[in-house]
Structure 1
Amino acid sequence: MNQQHCVKKGDRISIYMPMILELVVAMLACARIGALHSIVFAGFSADSLCERILDCGCSLLITADAFYRGDKLVNLKQIADEALQKCKDNLCETDSGFEKKTESPQRLHPKTPWNPAMDVWWHELMSSASTECEPEWCDSEDELFILYTSGSTGKPKGVLHTVGGYMLYAATSFKYVFDYQPEDVYWCTADIGWITGHSYLTYGPLANGATSVLFEGVPTYPDVGRMWSIVDKYKVTKFYTAPTAIRLLMKHGEEPVKKHSRKSLKVLGTVGEPINPEAWLWYYRVVGEERCPIVDTFWQTETGGHMLTPLPAATPMKPGSATFPFFGVVPAILNESGEELEGEAEGYLVFKQPWPGIMRTLYGNHQQFETTYFKKFPGYYVTGDGCRRDKDGYYWITGRIDDMLNVSVREKIGPIATPDYIQYAPSLPKTRSGKITRRILRKIAKNDQDLGDISTLANPGVIKHLFNSRCDTKQ
């Protein structure tokens, strides 16, 4: 990159790739030469990719020609070309200034659109690349990467992490939360397009010299026992996945799990959202056979690493609770007035002091960074999540604050509320983020056409239908 394409320290590189080894290689290459990688999940649309490229001014795009998601072929290069054309249209330029290097999968070679003035094959570049690349010396506060998150706010925000603090926090939390030992084989099923894949598939494990499984595919293809066959094949000892995947596999019963030994497993982890107790118990009893501790981890793209988490075999577990803060993390629960609540309480989850992995800013918009995370309760980092602390001091994440009913209102209406309106729908907006789905549904309920970023939707056509069939409600 730096030798042939003049990429230098501080440049932004967009990476739009499936879960193949070259993705990790590209990340580490950026880190070595001091360039910032901005990874875009390979399931995102051309609009979503374009928006992220333009926001941080990427000079290079690394992508692939195509990949399979289950049995579906995704023509990634075609989507990337569409995104770059949108970038040109937005910038009103004739030359995009972007280069694309592609690596092709082996199962099938689809016809790949090609522009010789701009496109370069990965393997051709590598054939003439030097085996020596001196690292760019960086300060601990130099920028390492940008990762975009949109969630409940609409427009994607470029979360920026730095070299020293982020690496230290990812490495330390990985070591202790998973009780990493040199003989372990670790598997995090997350896509590297999300923060979990950055912290606990790439940087945290590699900083500890860990052996990891890198998985491309879906948990139900070619059959619903895929995860457990991989666990057995590679003798996985530490396994980290999402409650969504656990609930999906629960639907297929115990038999696909019990067909496989899973004797190598020692620690199970969950990430991405609060896990409901039913799924936790199935994970513990069926997958882990009641011998593997579960680390139910709460953290965010913005935090860089685990904030609330059990330590395996050291923290008594409660199904559905993220338990206690990680080392150096000081949580508090506030009421609407910003007063700290002691003992058993429910309210806003905040953190009282910084930690090494905290984001340093939102790329190109420090004012929004201050407003979003620090303005509501000055002196605290505001997570945006609700939280309950029980009589034993355990923390339970209750969900995004903007998705919650006020506690006093909930007490008044009781456990079952009668809706004022019911709207029937053929389907709901589908995306990997529940926060985005809820934000869109709130907008539709208010008849607010300003939906924010919807480029990650798998079925954007359903939006028009939902507006057209919307109930007439009192405004």
Structure 2
Amino acid sequence: MTDPAAPHAPQPDRVPAPASVTARLHSDIDADLTRAAADPDGFWLEQAQGYEWTRVPTQGLGGPQADGTGPEFTWFADGETNITVNALDRHARGEARTRAALIWLPETGEPTVYTYGMLLTAVERAAAGLRHLGVGPGDRVVIYMPLTPEGAIAMLACARIGAVHSVVYAGLGVSALRDRIADAGARVVITADVGYRRGKLVDLYAIVAEAIAELGGVEHLVLWERIKEHQREHDARTVAWETLFTHGRAPAVPVSAEAPLYLLYTSGSTGKPKGVLHTHGGYMVGTSYHLRTLFDVQPGDVFFCTSDIGWIVGHSYIVYGPLVAGTTALFREGAPDFPDPGVLWRAVEDYGVNVLFTAPTALRLFMKLGADVVNSHDLSSLRVIACAGEALNPEAWRWAQEHLGGGTGEDAHAMVIDNWWQTELGAPTLGTHPRWPARPGYVGRPLAGVDADVVDEAGNTLPDGQQGFLVIRRPLPAMMRGIHGNPEKYAQVWNENPAGYLSGDLAMRDEHGYISILGRADDVLSVAGHRIGSADVEDALVSHPAVAEAAVIGIPDDLKGESIIAHVILRRGFEDQVGRGLRASISEHVRRELGPIATPGEIRVVTALPKTRSGKIMRRVLRAQALGQDPGDLTTLEG
């Protein structure tokens, strides 16, 4: 499947982290890398000792296939805890009781702050209310809530009594929601009357009511009414959110470290969504470890994550990771450029944000809007800007380092770091620590305790510079423990390649051990016998000064096997040049960067690209459109 002759965009030299940045950092994971390489099980067991357990684990990695030969493994299996004790109780009992745990910024209106003491009380009461409805350990609860504190409280309340929550992004439609509720076998659904998006109300209750109309297994629909202006008939199963808080307080239920914590359904850009299962113990240890070490987040910091609780990043780094670490999580409902393009950076300035976690899609949006949007704000409180969710192209990295991080000189105040992981992995797996040199276009190195490799179909390690499959050879604590109702699919990701867990991504390693993610294995272009990663061509396209974002597909070609079609979004100010040779200029730029074999046969200028709600480009939709075919299920398509 590999082709050593396949072209690759020339990459810049590695960019050292400025001394002014490293002097402000707290963490340095180099010692952890050495320790974990020598004894990975012992390393993770040591990390687990820093939490509260009702039964302290003595075992790290276990299970019948703990050697990585299959999916049956455990972490800290003889331990017992509840993640909410570590996220709430232990902080609320001490000096952190009055520290801000959550700061929520609505799209309109005043911010809301929950201290650790306030949040613990709210979660205890909501948990008691769910218990009054008959929810107990192992029961599934679907949460279809906007990005608000109430959504986080609902998640934590489920976890506190041992129930399994499944958050569905409050933007998916009726059929997508119905499928997820049915697959999870949820007894209770929690929702709000409305959400806000770009100043418009989204009627969430109507979507849920239609989704559960014929689902007899749903016993209760808990409704939080934000505006209470809708006069309508409620489903007979509807229970007011406020009534949950009238049944006292629920203590945390001790559960096995391997007890299920939540199901999270993947976006389904390549097929039917699957319910990924995560557990209390390993997920708690893995997510908070990387928050402290890779993202350098410390108690007292303000950590701003621009994701949503409907996605894995929101689970790990809006709710659980920051709270377990005892820091302050800032999050915001609404689009990053509404009501004005500077709203995100105003929040960074106003709240003194120390670490920002965002997505390449957001960075490219601000590239398109222009540097003036960010340059008018004081971002000097930032020391780390982490980016994940899809490939971070070199142009976006350079732009962000210059305009968000203050450049690469000694007066820089922050470092832009890439990291890679998946819903299935729960926490970062590859990354560039802010002390390490960055290599734009390369996500970074395997992190402490991670045994990652680039291999061929037979599981053999490939030489540096050669494309292959990205695999994880040994299980990690934060990894999924299963796929709900589909053990065959879960086994497949472990058994399809002899090397271990098959990520589905193509990758390439350089001589320093840095890994570049080249795109999904099914997004590889085959042109005249050469295999070219879609990310290679897209990176070359967006390095043209006129291109803000790009997506490429391959369509059948009688001569070359596949011909490349590029879809590009132009940066502001270039729209009027389309008819004056701009396409030829872009095409020649790609030819210069990658060689003739990767030059697009057609360049289509578009105003938007089809994406999932999590921001991933749905290339199958573009391919179907180009071929005149039915694009299939579009329930996860961003509206």
User: d(CA) in 1 for partners of 2:438 and 2:631?
Assistant: 43
Task: Check if 1:302 corresponds to 2:420.
Answer: no
User: d(CA) in 1 for partners of 2:307 and 2:624?
Assistant: 29
User: d(CA) in 1 for partners of 2:526 and 2:452?
Assistant: 21
Please state how far the C-alpha of 1:200 moved relative to its aligned partner.
Answer: 1.1
Q: Equivalent residue for 1:115?
A: 234
Q: Equivalent residue for 2:362?
A: 245
Aligned residues: 443
1:40-439 superposed matches below 5 A: 40-85=168-213, 88=214, 95=216, 97-105=218-226, 108-111=227-230, 113-115=232-234, 117-126=236-245, 128-130=246-248, 132-290=249-407, 291=412, 292-313=414-435, 315-371=436-492, 373-406=493-526, 409-410=530-531, 414-418=597-601, 429-432=610-613, 437-439=618-620
What is the TM-score when the length of structure 1 is the normalising length?
0.88
User: d(CA) in 2 for partners of 1:188 and 1:428?
Assistant: 24
Q: Give SS of 1:386's match.
A: strand
CA offset digits 1:286-325 (Å, max 9, x no partner)? 0111221122110000001000011222x11112321101
User: d(CA) in 2 for partners of 1:426 and 1:214?
Assistant: 28
Task: Check if 1:8 corresponds to 2:8.
Answer: no
Please state how far the C-alpha of 1:262 moved relative to its aligned partner.
Answer: 1.2
Q: Give SS of 2:132's match.
A: helix
Task: Check if 1:455 corresponds to 2:635.
Answer: yes
User: d(CA) in 2 for partners of 1:136 and 1:183?
Assistant: 28
* Structure 2: 5+ residue stretches without partners: 1-128, 533-559, 561-595
1:455 maps to a residue whose letter is T
Q: Equivalent residue for 2:112?
A: none
Greater fraction strand? 2
User: d(CA) in 1 for partners of 2:605 and 2:298?
Assistant: 52
What is the TM-score when the length of structure 2 is the normalising length?
0.66
Question: In 1, are the aligned partners of 2:470 and 2:506 still within 8 Å (CA)?
Answer: yes
Please state how far the C-alpha of 1:443 moved relative to its aligned partner.
Answer: 4.7
Taking a change above 3 Å as real, the CA distance of residues 232 and 359 of structure 1, as seen in their structure-2 partners, is same
1:333 maps to a residue whose letter is V
Q: Equivalent residue for 1:466?
A: none
1:418 maps to a residue whose letter is G
Taking a change above 3 Å as real, the CA distance of residues 3 and 425 of structure 1, as seen in their structure-2 partners, is closer
C-alpha RMSD of the superposition:
2.3
Taking a change above 3 Å as real, the CA distance of residues 112 and 268 of structure 1, as seen in their structure-2 partners, is farther
> Which piece of structure 1 moves more, 7-16 or 324-333?
324-333
Question: In 2, are the aligned partners of 1:21 and 1:214 still within 8 Å (CA)?
Answer: no
1:297 maps to a residue whose letter is N
1:431 maps to a residue whose letter is T
Task: Check if 1:36 corresponds to 2:164.
Answer: yes
User: d(CA) in 2 for partners of 1:178 and 1:434?
Assistant: 22
Q: Give SS of 2:525's match.
A: coil
Q: Equivalent residue for 2:62?
A: none
Please state how far the C-alpha of 1:117 moved relative to its aligned partner.
Answer: 2.7
Question: In 2, are the aligned partners of 1:78 and 1:112 still within 8 Å (CA)?
Answer: no
User: d(CA) in 2 for partners of 1:116 and 1:156?
Assistant: 27
> Which piece of structure 1 moves more, 426-435 or 400-409?
426-435
User: d(CA) in 2 for partners of 1:297 and 1:255?
Assistant: 27
CA offset digits 1:252-297 (Å, max 9, x no partner)? 1111212111121111110100111111111111011122112211
Q: Give SS of 1:191's match.
A: coil
User: d(CA) in 1 for partners of 2:524 and 2:318?
Assistant: 32
Q: Give SS of 1:297's match.
A: strand
Q: Equivalent residue for 2:75?
A: none
Please state how far the C-alpha of 1:370 moved relative to its aligned partner.
Answer: 1.1
User: d(CA) in 1 for partners of 2:608 and 2:382?
Assistant: 38
Question: In 1, are the aligned partners of 2:266 and 2:275 still within 8 Å (CA)?
Answer: yes
Taking a change above 3 Å as real, the CA distance of residues 67 and 434 of structure 1, as seen in their structure-2 partners, is closer
* Structure 1: 5+ residue stretches without partners: 460-475
1:289 maps to a residue whose letter is G
User: d(CA) in 1 for partners of 2:161 and 2:392?
Assistant: 39
Please state how far the C-alpha of 1:133 moved relative to its aligned partner.
Answer: 1.0
Q: Percent identity?
A: 42
1:198 maps to a residue whose letter is H
Q: Give SS of 1:345's match.
A: coil
- Decide which structure has the larger Cα Rg and report it: 2
Q: Equivalent residue for 1:469?
A: none
Q: Comparing both chains, which one has the higher relative contact order based on Cα–Cα distances under 8 Å and sequence gaps of 6 or more?
A: 2
Q: Give SS of 1:399's match.
A: strand
Question: In 1, are the aligned partners of 2:298 and 2:325 still within 8 Å (CA)?
Answer: no
User: d(CA) in 2 for partners of 1:449 and 1:33?
Assistant: 44
